[in-house]
């Protein structure tokens, strides 16, 4: 750790520019709104994590000894809904994107600061519906809400849960809109499109998906609510509906939503790998355009969730081949990140450890996704633990590790404090090891044929379930540690210099934490992003 | 016997014609995936060690990613994975094509999913719950439907599964290759006792299977039951065998293409017959009036299967062997969907390996 440069007086920054609860709840500063999001998103993550822990406890034995079936079904449903809609989708865009997208392009704020605050309140309102569902007795449809079970048979609070997600969707749409307009209209002088940091490219692609996809899930859930409440037939054959129609509509959003979760993480990884290799990302344009390619192709692969759902085999063929094609831009990114480290100056600081963990786990998640894209393979593996393992490798190994990497990367800038190097590295290693122990065995379980959403299971599946539950406790420990050392750093951490990692982005050229208007003078950009020859020797050595 | 003991295993039993194919594809994919995972992991660790920051070295070297070499590298790592994955695509698609085309000589079994049990009905009349007895080395074709929500009929040892939908028929076929007992799971989440909607598939030697069939099912065959339903519901009042009734003669209609009043043609498969009974106004046969009332609510899902089986068993009234049904047309495939795509089930009354009402239980 470095010794903080002597301070004359506590300088004004966005944190101490105004004080009082009201100054936070009515703030229009994108940085403060990001902190508001950070707090609520973290609470939802903790809640979703508790449900995950309960699932793994129950599955440690083949019998249903901890819960009855109804409770178990509600537990995995709440885990899915909270993690997908209230953690993964908002996490990076609403926290890190909100804070850093304007700073990285040299802007004072987002294009619509009031709409930005509104999106946080909408997110809170959606969250309240979900908490209401939780407190009054839960919902047991799974996060996928398949009809006609959800519309005619489930006895949970389907309408309230659906409305919660419906409302929350508007928060995503507004954030996406804000990011797109900001990126188009508010770039600093000289910040051309191909000088944009790759994180901004990732956020831009994500925002496009949010705007185009989210209305579809909103309408779908609204139709579900209509059918359940008023018996207007859309999906239930008893009312003349088509049950598979729901799956088409649901996955038309929910598959692109997977890219809403992973693209921002990929943006973070591009920043972190470059910074901690002190080298421009290899194939900048390939990485940038692969984000756009993923956003576009991602809209045409939803049918791979329906290979065994009675979909025509010819439709299946088209969706299968497109699913293979959408994997290629991801492969390009992985190879480019790896090549970035070649002949760099690699420093294994905590954000870099998380980023390397991301590459490893995301590679496995992506390759197993490719397996599932093959028709004959998917017939055997769909709806088994293989699928569970696959999407956790992408969602946790990918999206969550990217978020943690970004949080550790930008924490000094956001808070003006350095966290403990040792503890954060311990945490990164525990998360990586615990994660693999939790979800690795589930690939084997899936190929053996253990179906997902099973409360009790045949005894021959127990060995790998016990391994998985043991891994979950290691993973849980690794995820609890940051709560302590990050909160500790707020009070006791070393003061962070403006650019502790020797990074090149504009956000590092202002003080830590930044002043309310981000920059003293609007920066003028004269060279490409990631030009490390302009960065002074890194002061902070871990 | 897979169900007993075996507390540790890495692969499920391999007990159908599809199992070895799927395992082969899995092996190919595992090798490719392992290669790329290990390659990436090795390079990252190698670079992290070899190019770790050393004190004194300050200026980062700048690799030129606009050079021709870099461009070739980008092309290589785009095209090679694409090529490898297209092999996976073709391989996976060829397996699924077989899975979607039940052979014509298949033994038909009807399955109804209901929260939270599997009801199985054999043509000969035997009924089972949460059990399926089938002979080894014989193509088995399941016709599945659900009475409530979506279920999924999954036998891991056979490496195949199909969603079981309400209001529709789907098919699943396999040829069991190994005598034994295997897990049957519901793989599509269906509510409270989803994990209890399990059963056992008994693959038996032909002798054992015949013994099993012979013992203790006093009921009539499905077609016989269907015939009495046909009489009870008064279907024959209009669907008269001589073709002079107010409704079309049903003899020999199954599996044939039917001309509709709107000028289109449709193959008379299970789904079409079901729709015509429950929603008679949906499709009108050319030359007939819209007079048929709906039988919705008057006939159960199981009764419907029996009725269909009876209609299948009805031959040509004059005993003349009908022509083979027309070749499949793409338009038929579009209409019925591949999972419901029927094979030409229609056989002349005395022919065919499948027992009909006339030929009795000689399996």
Minimal CA separation from B294 to chain A, in Å: 14
Residue A358 in any domain: the answer is: yes
**3.40.50.720, 1.10.760.10, 1.10.10.1590, 3.30.390.50: CATH of B222-336:** 1.10.760.10
Q: What is the mean pLDDT of residues B340-344?
A: 37
Distance CA B44, CA A356 (A): 8
Name the phi and psi angles at B326, rounded to 5: -60, 155
Mean pLDDT of chain B, nearest integer = 81
Q: What is the mean pLDDT of residues B11-37?
A: 94
- Say what the pLDDT of residue A307 is: 94
Q: Is the pLDDT of residue B10 over 50?
A: yes
Q: Supply the CATH number for residue A131's domain.
A: 1.20.210.10
Q: Is the pLDDT of residue B62 over 90?
A: no
Q: Is the pLDDT of residue A488 over 60?
A: yes
For residue A272, which residues of chain B lie inside 8 Å, CB to CB? none
Q: What is the mean pLDDT of residues A63-84?
A: 94
- Put simply, the answer to whether A379 touches B25 (Cβ < 8 Å) is no
- Say what the pLDDT of residue B65 is: 64
- Say what the pLDDT of residue B249 is: 84
- Put simply, the answer to whether B160 touches A345 (Cβ < 8 Å) is no
Q: Which residue of B has its CA nearest to A444?
A: B10
Closest Cβ opposite residue B48 in set A310, A346, A374 = A346
Reading the block at residue A433, the tokens are 């090891």
Residue A4 in any domain: the answer is: no
Q: What is the mean pLDDT of residues A173-199?
A: 96
Q: Is the pLDDT of residue B110 over 70?
A: yes
pLDDT class of A435 with cuts at 50, 70, 90: very high
Q: Is the pLDDT of residue A529 over 60?
A: yes
Residue A245, Cβ neighbours under 10 Å: how many? 14
Residues 6+ apart with CB under 8 A from A10: A16
Closest Cβ opposite residue B89 in set A320, A342, A447 = A320
pLDDT class of B5 with cuts at 50, 70, 90: very low
Q: For residue range B230-259, what is the model confidence (pLDDT) as tens digits?
A: 888 888 878 887 777 788 888 888 888 888
- Say what the pLDDT of residue B215 is: 77
Distance CA B269, CA A5 (A): 82
| pTM for the predicted model, two decimal places | 0.86
Distance CA B248, CA A14 (A): 81
Residue A14 in any domain: the answer is: no
A-B contacts at Cβ under 8 angstroms: 290
Is-contact B164 B179, C-beta < 8 A? no
Reading the block at residue B306, the tokens are 């029996």
- Run of H or E including A352: helix A350-373
Q: Is the pLDDT of residue B319 over 70?
A: no
Q: What is the mean pLDDT of residues A26-37?
A: 96
Distance CA A371, CA B32 (A): 10
Distance CA B336, CA B100 (A): 13
- Put simply, the answer to whether A332 touches B94 (Cβ < 8 Å) is no
- Put simply, the answer to whether A284 touches B340 (Cβ < 8 Å) is no
- Say what the pLDDT of residue B220 is: 75
User: B184 in helix, strand or coil?
Assistant: strand
- Put simply, the answer to whether B60 touches A279 (Cβ < 8 Å) is yes
For residue A243, which residues of chain B lie inside 8 Å, CB to CB? 150, 165-167
DSSP A8-43: SS----TTTSS-SHHHHHT---HHHHHHHHHHHHHH
pLDDT class of B7 with cuts at 50, 70, 90: low
Reading the block at residue B274, the tokens are 């079901």
Distance CA A46, CA A82 (A): 10
**Which is more confident, B239 or A103?**
A103
- Say what the pLDDT of residue A457 is: 95
Mutation target vs A (from B4, B38, B51; most A CBs, 10 A cutoff)? B51
Mutation target vs A (from B25, B96, B165, B338; most A CBs, 10 A cutoff)? B96
Closest Cβ opposite residue B47 in set A321, A342, A383 = A342
Residue A15 in any domain: the answer is: no
Is-contact A351 A408, C-beta < 8 A? yes
- Put simply, the answer to whether A360 touches B41 (Cβ < 8 Å) is yes
- Say what the pLDDT of residue A5 is: 53
Q: What is the mean pLDDT of residues A213-238?
A: 92
For residue A331, which residues of chain B lie inside 8 Å, CB to CB? 77-78, 81
pLDDT class of B126 with cuts at 50, 70, 90: confident
Q: Which residue of A has its CA nearest to B193?
A: A69
Mutation target vs A (from B46, B156, B183; most A CBs, 10 A cutoff)? B156
pLDDT class of B216 with cuts at 50, 70, 90: low
Distance CA A144, CA A243 (A): 13
Tallying the residues shown for chain A, one arrives at 542
For residue A373, which residues of chain B lie inside 8 Å, CB to CB? 85, 88-89, 92
Q: Is the pLDDT of residue B332 over 60?
A: no
- Say what the pLDDT of residue B355 is: 36
For residue A282, which residues of chain B lie inside 8 Å, CB to CB? 63, 65, 70
User: What percent of chain A clears pLDDT 90, i.e. is strictly above it?
Assistant: 89
- Put simply, the answer to whether A532 touches B60 (Cβ < 8 Å) is yes
For residue A140, which residues of chain B lie inside 8 Å, CB to CB? 191-192
Q: Is the pLDDT of residue A448 over 90?
A: yes
* Ramachandran region, residue A17 (left: φ > 0; alpha: ψ -120 to 50; beta: rest): alpha
Q: Is the pLDDT of residue B56 over 70?
A: no
Place of tokens 């024959």: B236
Is-contact A448 A461, C-beta < 8 A? yes
User: What percent of chain B clears pLDDT 90, i.e. is strictly above it?
Assistant: 44
Mean pLDDT of chain A, nearest integer = 93
- Say what the pLDDT of residue A336 is: 94
- Run of H or E including B162: strand B160-164
Q: Is the pLDDT of residue B339 over 60?
A: no
Is-contact A456 A64, C-beta < 8 A? yes
- Say what the pLDDT of residue B303 is: 83
Is-contact A125 A119, C-beta < 8 A? no
Residue A154 in any domain: the answer is: yes
Residue ranges of alpha helices (H) inside chain B are 17-50, 68-99, 206-214, 222-232, 270-278, 301-313, 330-336
Q: Is the pLDDT of residue B92 over 80?
A: yes
Closest Cβ opposite residue A375 in set B70, B82, B92 = B92
Beta bridge partners of B119: B112, B129
Task: Name which of A21-35, A72-86, B345-359 the model is least confident about.
Answer: B345-359
pLDDT class of A3 with cuts at 50, 70, 90: low
ipTM over 0.85? The verdict is yes
Reading the block at residue A176, the tokens are 């996406």
- Say what the pLDDT of residue B341 is: 34
Closest Cβ opposite residue A533 in set B41, B59, B188 = B59
- Say what the pLDDT of residue B283 is: 85
Spans of all domains in chain B: 13-48+65-219, 222-336
Distance CA B254, CA B263 (A): 19
Mutation target vs A (from B163, B196, B275, B341; most A CBs, 10 A cutoff)? B163
**Which is more confident, A48 or A12?**
A48
Q: For residue range B267-305, what is the model confidence (pLDDT) as tens digits?
A: 888 888 888 888 888 888 888 888 888 888 788 888 888
Closest Cβ opposite residue A341 in set B47, B81, B156 = B47
**Which is more confident, B319 or A459?**
A459
CA angle, A98 then A100 then A102, to 5°: 80
Q: What is the mean pLDDT of residues B13-24?
A: 95
Residue ranges of alpha helices (H) inside A83-156 are 89-90, 98-104, 113-136
Residue A9 in any domain: the answer is: no
- Fold held by B13-48+65-219: Immunoglobulin-like (2.60.40)
Q: Which residue of B has its CA nearest to A460?
A: B7
**Closest by CA position to A404, among listed A361, A347, A350:** A350
Q: Is the pLDDT of residue B346 over 60?
A: no
Reported for B286-293, long-range contacts at CB under 8 A and 24+ positions apart, including other chains, are: B286/B259, B286/B260, B286/B261, B287/B261, B288/B246, B288/B247, B288/B248, B288/B261, B289/B246, B291/B238, B291/B246, B291/B247, B292/B238, B292/B247
For residue B8, which residues of chain A lie inside 8 Å, CB to CB? 460, 463
- Say what the pLDDT of residue B342 is: 39
Place of tokens 């080395």: B137
Q: Which residue of B has its CA nearest to A371?
A: B29
Residue A10 in any domain: the answer is: no
**A479: containing domain:** 21-530
């Amino acid at each position: 750790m470095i010794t903080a440069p002597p301070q004359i007086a506590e300088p004004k920054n966005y944190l101490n520019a105004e004080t009082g609860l009201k100054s936070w709840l009515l703030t229009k500063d994108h940085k403060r709104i990001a902190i508001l999001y950070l707090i609520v998103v973290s609470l939802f993550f903790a809640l979703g994590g508790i449900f995950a822990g309960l699932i793994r406890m129950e599955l440690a034995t083949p019998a249903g000894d901890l819960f009855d079936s109804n409770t178990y079904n509600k537990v995995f449903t709440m885990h899915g809904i909270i993690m997908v809609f209230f953690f993964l989708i908002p996490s990076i865009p609403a926290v890190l994107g909100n804070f850093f997208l304007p700073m990285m392009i040299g802007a004072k704020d987002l294009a619509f600061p009031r709409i930005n605050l509104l999106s946080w309140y909408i997110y809170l309102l959606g969250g309240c519906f979900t908490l209401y569902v939780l407190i009054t007795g839960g919902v047991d449809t799974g996060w996928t809400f398949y009809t006609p079970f959800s519309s005619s048979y489930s006895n949970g609070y389907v309408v309230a849960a659906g409305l919660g997600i419906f409302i929350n969707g508007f928060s995503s749409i507004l954030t996406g809109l804000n990011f797109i307009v900001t990126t188009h209209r508010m770039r600093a002088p000289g910040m051309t499109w191909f000088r944009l940091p790759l994180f901004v490219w990732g956020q831009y692609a994500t925002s496009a998906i949010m705007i185009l996809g989210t209305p579809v899930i909103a309408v779908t859930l609204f139709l579900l609510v209509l059918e359940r409440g008023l018996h207007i037939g859309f999906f239930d054959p008893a009312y003349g509906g088509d049950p598979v129609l729901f799956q088409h509509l649901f996955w038309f959003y929910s598959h692109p939503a997977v890219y809403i979760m992973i693209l921002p993480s990929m943006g973070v990884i591009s920043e972190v790998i470059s910074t901690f290799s002190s080298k421009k990302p290899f194939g900048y344009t390939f990485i940038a355009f692969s984000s756009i390619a993923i956003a576009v192709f991602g809209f045409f692969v939803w049918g791979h969730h329906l290979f065994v759902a009675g979909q025509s085999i010819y439709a299946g063929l088209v969706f299968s081949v497109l699913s293979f094609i959408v994997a290629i831009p991801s492969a390009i990114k992985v190879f480019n990140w790896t090549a970035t480290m070649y002949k760099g100056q690699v420093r294994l600081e905590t954000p870099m450890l998380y980023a390397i963990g991301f590459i490893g786990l995301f590679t496995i998640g992506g390759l197993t996704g490719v397996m599932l894209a093959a028709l004959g393979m998917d017939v055997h593996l769909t709806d088994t633990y293989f699928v569970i393992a696959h999407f956790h490798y992408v969602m946790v190994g990918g999206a969550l590790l990217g978020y943690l990497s970004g949080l550790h990367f930008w924490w000094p800038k956001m808070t003006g404090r350095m966290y403990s190097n040792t503890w954060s590295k311990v945490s990164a290693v525990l998360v990586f090891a615990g994660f693999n122990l939790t979800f690795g065995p589930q690939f084997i379980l899936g190929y053996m044929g253990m179906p997902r959403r099973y409360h009790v299971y045949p005894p021959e599946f127990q060995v790998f379930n016990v391994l998985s539950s043991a891994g979950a406790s290691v993973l849980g420990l690794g995820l609890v540690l940051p709560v302590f050392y990050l909160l500790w750093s707020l009070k006791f951490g070393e003061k962070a210099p403006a650019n502790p990692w020797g990074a090149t982005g504009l956000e590092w050229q202002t003080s830590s934490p930044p002043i309310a208007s981000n920059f003293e003078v609007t920066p003028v950009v004269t060279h490409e992003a990631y030009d490390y020859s302009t960065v002074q020797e890194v002061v902070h050595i871990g | 016997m897979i169900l007993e003991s075996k507390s540790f295993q890495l692969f499920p039993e391999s007990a159908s014609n599809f199992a070895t194919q799927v395992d082969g594809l899995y092996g190919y994919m595992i090798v490719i995936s392992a290669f790329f995972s290990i390659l990436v992991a090795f390079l990252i660790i190698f670079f992290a060690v070899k190019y770790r920051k050393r004190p004194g070295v300050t200026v980062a070297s700048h690799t030129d990613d606009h050079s021709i070499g870099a461009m070739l590298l980008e092309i290589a790592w785009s095209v090679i994975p694409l090529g490898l994955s297209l092999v996976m695509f073709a391989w996976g698609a060829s397996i699924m094509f077989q899975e979607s085309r039940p052979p014509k000589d298949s033994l038909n079994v009807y399955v109804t999913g209901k929260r939270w049990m599997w009801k199985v009905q054999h043509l000969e009349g035997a009924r089972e719950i949460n059990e399926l007895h089938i002979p080894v080395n014989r193509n088995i074709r399941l016709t599945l439907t659900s009475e409530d929500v979506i279920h999924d009929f999954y036998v891991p040892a056979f490496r195949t599964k199909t969603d079981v939908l309400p209001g529709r028929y789907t098919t699943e076929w396999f040829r069991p290759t190994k005598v034994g007992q295997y897990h049957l799971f519901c793989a599509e989440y269906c509510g409270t006792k989803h994990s209890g909607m399990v059963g056992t598939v008994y693959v038996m030697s032909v002798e054992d299977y015949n013994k099993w069939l012979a013992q203790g099912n006093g009921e009539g065959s499905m077609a016989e039951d269907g015939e009495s339903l046909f009489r009870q519901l008064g279907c024959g009042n209009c669907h008269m065998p001589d073709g002079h009734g107010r409704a079309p003669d049903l003899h020999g209609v199954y599996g044939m293409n039917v001309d509709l009043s709107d000028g289109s043609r449709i193959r008379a498969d299970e789904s079409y017959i079901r729709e015509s009974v429950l929603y008679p106004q949906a499709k009108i046969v050319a030359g007939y009036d819209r007079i048929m009332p709906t039988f919705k609510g008057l006939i159960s899902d199981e009764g419907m299967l029996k009725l269909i089986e009876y209609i299948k068993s009805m031959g040509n009234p004059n005993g003349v062997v009908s022509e083979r049904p027309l070749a499949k047309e793409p338009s038929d495939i579009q209409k019925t969907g591949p999972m419901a795509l029927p094979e030409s089930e229609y056989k002349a009354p005395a022919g065919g390996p499948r027992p009909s009402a006339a030929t009795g239980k000689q399996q």
